[in-house]
Homo-oligomer: A and B are copies of this chain.
């Protein structure tokens, strides 16, 4: 590979913002910008925002670019670079995103589901570099996932695989946005978690969360729980251990079905750190079938800030 060819553009296409950056083949973010998605204005406007953003980044940087990678919240035909559907982007149905951008800018363009892009980011730049197979778990507003099997994303029959947030751990559990019940997203997703903690806090008057939120329940957030945890709050530790039990139960199912035994945990809620990772690992170890027990590993993601841009840029190095 020539020295002038070591950079890629990574684009994290979200429902609210588009993040665009230049990343080296070592995973170093050189420069990035944020621009509004304007999703409500439809695909044409969004794509024009993406193209303008790329031009802006290119104008300010003289690196030779190998290609463009885009992580997109939806079902993607990665071979054709088509976004088949994207629930949070109105009007996105079979949008030929790769070919439109390639036509405009001339670079090779690779499109992936954003959770899969995060997994490829860890595979190429992060905690998954030396692994054959692992499941990337992204804990944030929702619970996302990407499954790497033998160094490749497992896409399933039609590209919709890896929806690990929608593993149900209780057939009669709480209602999930997806229509099912007891999905781990309905326990661990930010809104659900806040909801639970707000309801429980009055039963824990001793919790250090109270002073952090200045007695205002509307200020409960994962960040606040993390702070309380760092202050040694017992209730916060109990929350995190319960989350680990819930997550671990779901991940056990993945191991038993797919015989994949390494899990990389990323996303905002992963800020709960060791207590969460440890409770998750202990739960999987206790529950998984005997032949897999000793192979179970749970580790933190390496790409933290700008994991979205870096994951998207890694598509360029993964494909080639």
Contact = CB atoms under 8 A, between A and B. Distances in A.
Interface of A: 75, 84-85, 87, 132-133, 147, 149-150, 154-164, 166-172, 178-182, 245-246, 249, 252-254, 256-261, 286-292, 295
Number of copies: 2
A182 B171 CA distance: 10
B254 A257 contact: yes
Contacts of A87: 290
Nearest to A74: B291
A185 to B, nearest CB: 11
A253 B291 CA distance: 22
Given A168-B252, A171-B169, A286-B179, A291 B257 contact: no
A203 to B, nearest CB: 20
Interface hub of A161, A245, A257, A286 (most chain B Cβ within 10 A): A257
B163 A249 contact: no
A85 B291 contact: yes
Contacts of A154: 258
Interface hub of A149, A159, A167, A258 (most chain B Cβ within 10 A): A258
Nearest to A187: B171
B158 A289 contact: no
Nearest to A246: B171
B289 A178 contact: yes
A155 B159 CA distance: 19
A259 B180 CA distance: 16
A34 B254 CA distance: 37
A147 B133 CA distance: 18
Given A163-B289, A252-B180, A258-B258, A157 B170 contact: no
Contacts of A290: 87, 178-179
A256 B166 CA distance: 7
A160 B291 contact: yes
Contacts of A259: 155-162
A87 B179 CA distance: 39
B157 A133 contact: yes
Contacts of A159: 259
A292 B160 contact: yes
6 contacts: A75-B291, A132-B157, A158-B292, A159-B259, A163-B257, A169-B169
A150 B162 CA distance: 17
A258 B178 contact: no
A170 B168 CA distance: 8
A278 B163 CA distance: 25
B180 A287 contact: yes
A257 B257 contact: yes
Nearest to A176: B287
A288 B258 CA distance: 19
A259 B287 CA distance: 24
